[in-house]
Amino acid sequence: MINVLAKLKKSSIRASDIAAQYWCERQMELNYLYGQKITAQIKKGRQIHGDLESETNVPIVLMPKAYSDVMYKGLYTSYMALQTLQEKKKTREVQIYGAINGFKLVGKIDQLEIKDNELIVQEDKTRGNDNLPSDAQILSHKAQVMLYRKLIEDITTEKYTAKMFKESYRIPNLILTDEFKRQLETIGVEKELMKVDSMSDTFFESLRKLGKISDTLYIRYINQFTGNVIKLHKLKYSEEEMLQMLDFVLKYWNGDRKSLPVPMEEKWKCNFCAFFGKECKVWWPQKGLNV
């Protein structure tokens, strides 16, 4: 059986990987094997996410010097984002962790908001025009936002705990560099929280206190150039549907099957793929079918 994570040089599955599997699983795999093609559209999308984050979250400037520092920064930044959620009822860019069937899962939630005493999960996607997203695009994004909701619930119900997280990432072995500690002192972090272990406990405790999670989820589509909302797509969370989605994607990560290209009726997606006709020729017209 193929160790897919080792093949792709990964140690965990990202929520965006699972979303990408519902767009084109073969493209997702090729992004790791050959490197993702960073387009102008991707760069613009990242800029918009950064602008939206600055509207709600307090900027945190930290310069990690080692892996342990990087892990701490992710936890601390997300912990502070959760403090913003309690104060302003809205926050952005919250790191989330979990595990399914022995695989580590990680993602970053675009937006959390508290309305009517319920926590609402929202995913933002940018587009280069005002055209409405296709059903195929919505399906991919639906898988991502539903997974975020499941990961939060797993933590609040303690199906996934701080102890499990720390064991999985070997947190007790991570020691912050002296330079990074000085940076933390400068921004006023308490001394007892200057350990990856203690920050892990603090972050997970904050997540557990989030309260009731709404079954209503949102995907917001934004025009990259005007900043206008094209569509606010509303959907209902279904545990049964989520488990069915995970059953499908895990067959790939378990090595039970090879990555799937898009089906024939969706080969139009290939026109937007940088690998089309090069690393992937499944639907390349000059080579015939299934090359």
- For residue 35, being part of any structural domain is answered with yes
What pLDDT is recorded for position 41? Answer: 59
- For residue 73, being part of any structural domain is answered with yes
What pLDDT is recorded for position 224? Answer: 87
Q: Is 123 left (phi over 0), alpha (psi -120 to 50) or beta?
A: beta
pLDDT digits (tens, 9 = 90+) for 176-208: 999 999 999 999 999 999 999 999 999 999 999
Q: Is 107 a residue whose pLDDT tops 70?
A: yes
Q: Which of 24-28, 36-40, 202-206, 243-247 has the lowest mean pLDDT?
A: 36-40
**Above pLDDT 90, what percent of the chain?**
83
Q: Is 100 a residue whose pLDDT tops 60?
A: yes
The domain total for the chain is 1
- For residue 98, being part of any structural domain is answered with yes
Containing domain of residue 33, as a range?
4-260
CATH number at residue 141: 3.90.320
- For residue 284, being part of any structural domain is answered with no
- Burial of 267: CB neighbours in 10 Å, binned 0-12, 13-18, 19+: middle
What pLDDT is recorded for position 88? Answer: 94
Q: Which of 30-44, 107-121, 138-152, 172-186 has the lowest mean pLDDT?
A: 30-44
- For residue 287, being part of any structural domain is answered with no
- For residue 277, being part of any structural domain is answered with no
Confidence of residue 273 (pLDDT cuts 50, 70, 90): very high
CA dihedral (217, 223, 229, 233) positive or negative: negative
